[in-house]
A and B are shown apart, each in its own frame.
Chain A
Amino acid sequence: MQMAIMTRRRKIWLAAGIALLATVAGGILIGLMPRYLSKGAAGGLAAIILVGVFLAMTPRWRMLDYMQRDSRLVSWYWGGSFGGGLGLVLAIILGGVRSPLFAGAALVWLLQCTGYVLVRVRWWFAHRSTAA
Protein backbone atom coordinates (compact mmCIF):
# COMPACT_ATOMS: atom_id res chain seq x y z
CA MET A 1 0.00 0.00 0.00
CA GLN A 2 2.80 2.39 1.00
CA MET A 3 4.51 1.54 -2.28
CA ALA A 4 1.34 2.36 -4.21
CA ILE A 5 1.06 5.74 -2.46
CA MET A 6 4.66 6.56 -3.27
CA THR A 7 4.12 5.57 -6.89
CA ARG A 8 1.06 7.77 -7.31
CA ARG A 9 2.76 10.72 -5.61
CA ARG A 10 5.83 10.18 -7.74
CA LYS A 11 3.70 10.13 -10.89
CA ILE A 12 2.13 13.48 -9.99
CA TRP A 13 5.54 15.05 -9.33
CA LEU A 14 6.98 13.46 -12.44
CA ALA A 15 4.16 14.87 -14.57
CA ALA A 16 4.69 18.31 -13.02
CA GLY A 17 8.45 18.09 -13.62
CA ILE A 18 8.02 17.08 -17.25
CA ALA A 19 5.50 19.87 -17.85
CA LEU A 20 7.83 22.41 -16.22
CA LEU A 21 10.82 21.21 -18.25
CA ALA A 22 8.76 21.26 -21.45
CA THR A 23 7.61 24.80 -20.69
CA VAL A 24 11.15 26.02 -19.98
CA ALA A 25 12.50 24.24 -23.06
CA GLY A 26 9.66 25.72 -25.11
CA GLY A 27 10.42 29.18 -23.77
CA ILE A 28 14.12 28.85 -24.63
CA LEU A 29 13.24 27.51 -28.07
CA ILE A 30 10.81 30.35 -28.70
CA GLY A 31 13.51 32.81 -27.62
CA LEU A 32 16.01 31.32 -30.05
CA MET A 33 13.62 30.81 -32.97
CA PRO A 34 13.59 34.32 -34.44
CA ARG A 35 17.25 33.89 -35.38
CA TYR A 36 16.60 30.85 -37.52
CA LEU A 37 12.92 30.81 -38.46
CA SER A 38 10.39 33.06 -40.15
CA LYS A 39 7.58 34.53 -38.05
CA GLY A 40 5.08 32.04 -39.46
CA ALA A 41 7.28 29.03 -38.80
CA ALA A 42 8.17 30.29 -35.33
CA GLY A 43 4.48 30.85 -34.56
CA GLY A 44 3.56 27.40 -35.82
CA LEU A 45 6.26 25.78 -33.69
CA ALA A 46 5.17 27.80 -30.67
CA ALA A 47 1.56 26.66 -31.23
CA ILE A 48 2.71 23.02 -31.40
CA ILE A 49 4.63 23.48 -28.13
CA LEU A 50 1.56 25.10 -26.53
CA VAL A 51 -0.75 22.26 -27.55
CA GLY A 52 1.89 19.70 -26.52
CA VAL A 53 2.21 21.20 -23.03
CA PHE A 54 -1.58 21.20 -22.58
CA LEU A 55 -1.83 17.59 -23.78
CA ALA A 56 1.00 16.62 -21.44
CA MET A 57 -0.84 18.27 -18.54
CA THR A 58 -4.15 16.50 -19.22
CA PRO A 59 -3.28 13.21 -17.44
CA ARG A 60 -2.11 15.18 -14.39
CA TRP A 61 -5.35 17.21 -14.34
CA ARG A 62 -7.37 13.99 -14.47
CA MET A 63 -5.40 12.60 -11.53
CA LEU A 64 -6.36 15.55 -9.34
CA ASP A 65 -9.25 15.08 -6.96
CA TYR A 66 -12.07 17.60 -6.47
CA MET A 67 -10.32 19.55 -3.71
CA GLN A 68 -7.06 19.78 -5.62
CA ARG A 69 -8.89 21.05 -8.69
CA ASP A 70 -10.83 23.51 -6.59
CA SER A 71 -7.62 24.87 -5.06
CA ARG A 72 -6.13 25.42 -8.51
CA LEU A 73 -9.28 26.99 -9.94
CA VAL A 74 -9.60 29.43 -7.03
CA SER A 75 -5.88 30.24 -7.24
CA TRP A 76 -6.03 30.87 -10.97
CA TYR A 77 -9.24 32.90 -10.77
CA TRP A 78 -8.10 35.21 -7.97
CA GLY A 79 -4.30 34.96 -8.06
CA GLY A 80 -4.03 34.70 -11.83
CA SER A 81 -6.49 37.54 -12.45
CA PHE A 82 -4.80 39.82 -9.95
CA GLY A 83 -1.34 38.92 -11.24
CA GLY A 84 -2.42 39.67 -14.81
CA GLY A 85 -3.98 42.96 -13.77
CA LEU A 86 -0.85 43.89 -11.85
CA GLY A 87 1.16 43.12 -14.98
CA LEU A 88 -0.91 45.64 -16.91
CA VAL A 89 -0.39 48.28 -14.21
CA LEU A 90 3.36 47.65 -14.19
CA ALA A 91 3.46 47.83 -18.00
CA ILE A 92 1.78 51.27 -17.83
CA ILE A 93 4.18 52.46 -15.12
CA LEU A 94 7.28 51.17 -16.90
CA GLY A 95 6.41 51.92 -20.52
CA GLY A 96 3.19 53.92 -20.77
CA VAL A 97 0.01 52.98 -22.59
CA ARG A 98 1.56 53.37 -26.06
CA SER A 99 4.55 51.13 -25.39
CA PRO A 100 5.09 47.67 -26.97
CA LEU A 101 5.33 46.33 -23.41
CA PHE A 102 1.78 47.45 -22.62
CA ALA A 103 0.53 46.24 -26.02
CA GLY A 104 1.98 42.78 -25.34
CA ALA A 105 0.64 42.66 -21.80
CA ALA A 106 -2.79 43.84 -22.94
CA LEU A 107 -2.88 41.25 -25.73
CA VAL A 108 -2.10 38.44 -23.28
CA TRP A 109 -4.69 39.78 -20.83
CA LEU A 110 -7.31 40.07 -23.56
CA LEU A 111 -6.67 36.53 -24.83
CA GLN A 112 -6.73 35.20 -21.29
CA CYS A 113 -10.14 36.84 -20.74
CA THR A 114 -11.38 35.53 -24.10
CA GLY A 115 -10.27 32.02 -23.22
CA TYR A 116 -11.99 32.33 -19.86
CA VAL A 117 -15.28 33.39 -21.47
CA LEU A 118 -15.15 30.67 -24.14
CA VAL A 119 -14.42 27.88 -21.68
CA ARG A 120 -17.05 29.18 -19.28
CA VAL A 121 -19.71 29.27 -22.02
CA ARG A 122 -18.73 25.77 -23.10
CA TRP A 123 -18.88 24.61 -19.47
CA TRP A 124 -22.33 26.19 -19.08
CA PHE A 125 -23.68 24.49 -22.19
CA ALA A 126 -22.18 21.15 -21.13
CA HIS A 127 -23.90 21.35 -17.74
CA ARG A 128 -27.28 22.77 -18.59
CA SER A 129 -30.39 20.69 -18.84
CA THR A 130 -33.82 21.23 -20.29
CA ALA A 131 -36.20 22.89 -17.87
CA ALA A 132 -38.64 20.48 -16.29
Chain B
Amino acid sequence: MKNILREARTASGLSQGALAERMDVTRQTINAVEADKYDPSLPLAYKLAAFFQMPVEDLFQNPFKS
Protein backbone atom coordinates (compact mmCIF):
# COMPACT_ATOMS: atom_id res chain seq x y z
CA MET B 1 0.00 0.00 0.00
CA LYS B 2 1.57 3.26 -1.14
CA ASN B 3 2.14 5.71 1.68
CA ILE B 4 4.01 8.78 2.85
CA LEU B 5 5.18 7.20 6.08
CA ARG B 6 8.87 7.71 5.33
CA GLU B 7 8.29 11.40 4.59
CA ALA B 8 6.17 11.84 7.74
CA ARG B 9 8.76 10.07 9.86
CA THR B 10 11.77 11.98 8.57
CA ALA B 11 9.85 15.24 8.91
CA SER B 12 9.37 14.34 12.58
CA GLY B 13 13.08 13.65 12.93
CA LEU B 14 12.55 10.07 14.00
CA SER B 15 14.57 7.03 13.04
CA GLN B 16 12.79 3.84 11.99
CA GLY B 17 13.81 2.28 15.29
CA ALA B 18 12.46 5.16 17.34
CA LEU B 19 9.14 5.12 15.50
CA ALA B 20 8.98 1.34 15.83
CA GLU B 21 9.46 1.61 19.57
CA ARG B 22 6.65 4.15 19.87
CA MET B 23 4.34 2.01 17.76
CA ASP B 24 5.32 -1.13 19.69
CA VAL B 25 6.45 -2.93 16.54
CA THR B 26 9.84 -3.90 15.15
CA ARG B 27 12.03 -1.69 12.98
CA GLN B 28 11.67 -4.29 10.21
CA THR B 29 7.91 -3.76 10.22
CA ILE B 30 8.27 0.02 9.83
CA ASN B 31 10.83 -0.54 7.08
CA ALA B 32 8.57 -3.00 5.22
CA VAL B 33 5.56 -0.69 5.45
CA GLU B 34 7.58 2.31 4.24
CA ALA B 35 8.94 0.30 1.32
CA ASP B 36 5.43 -0.89 0.39
CA LYS B 37 6.52 -4.47 0.99
CA TYR B 38 3.89 -5.16 3.62
CA ASP B 39 0.48 -3.70 4.37
CA PRO B 40 0.09 -2.58 7.97
CA SER B 41 -2.66 -4.00 10.12
CA LEU B 42 -5.65 -1.69 10.58
CA PRO B 43 -4.73 -0.91 14.22
CA LEU B 44 -1.16 -0.06 13.21
CA ALA B 45 -2.37 2.16 10.36
CA TYR B 46 -4.65 4.05 12.74
CA LYS B 47 -1.94 4.23 15.38
CA LEU B 48 0.50 5.71 12.87
CA ALA B 49 -2.13 8.16 11.62
CA ALA B 50 -2.92 9.24 15.17
CA PHE B 51 0.76 9.62 15.95
CA PHE B 52 1.36 11.88 12.92
CA GLN B 53 -2.00 13.59 13.51
CA MET B 54 -3.36 13.04 10.04
CA PRO B 55 -6.21 11.01 8.55
CA VAL B 56 -5.34 7.43 7.64
CA GLU B 57 -6.03 8.08 3.97
CA ASP B 58 -3.52 10.93 3.95
CA LEU B 59 -0.86 8.62 5.30
CA PHE B 60 -1.87 5.54 3.28
CA GLN B 61 -3.19 5.89 -0.23
CA ASN B 62 -6.50 4.06 -0.66
CA PRO B 63 -5.83 1.69 -3.59
CA PHE B 64 -9.55 1.18 -4.17
CA LYS B 65 -10.33 4.83 -4.73
CA SER B 66 -9.83 6.28 -8.17
Contacts and interface: CB of A to CB of B under 8 A. Distances in A.
Q: Do A and B belong to a common assembly?
A: yes
Interface of A: 1-2, 4-5, 8, 65-68
Contact of B38 (A2, A5, A8, A67): A67
Interface string B13-42: 000011011001111110010000010110
Contacts of A1: 18, 21
Interface residues of B, number: 16
Contacts of B18: 1, 5
29 contacts: A1-B18, A1-B21, A2-B17, A4-B21, A5-B17, A5-B18, A5-B20, A5-B21, A5-B27, A8-B21, A65-B25, A65-B26, A65-B29, A65-B44, A66-B25, A66-B29, A66-B40, A66-B41, A66-B43, A66-B44, A67-B25, A67-B26, A67-B28, A67-B29, A67-B32, A67-B38, A68-B26, A68-B28, A68-B29
A66 B21 CA distance: 14
Interface of B is mostly: helix
Closest 6 CB pairs of A and B: A65-B25, A66-B41, A67-B29, A5-B17, A5-B21, A1-B18
Interface of B: 17-18, 20-21, 24-29, 32, 38, 40-41, 43-44
Most B CB within 10 A of own CB, among A4, A66, A68: A66
A8 B27 CA distance: 11
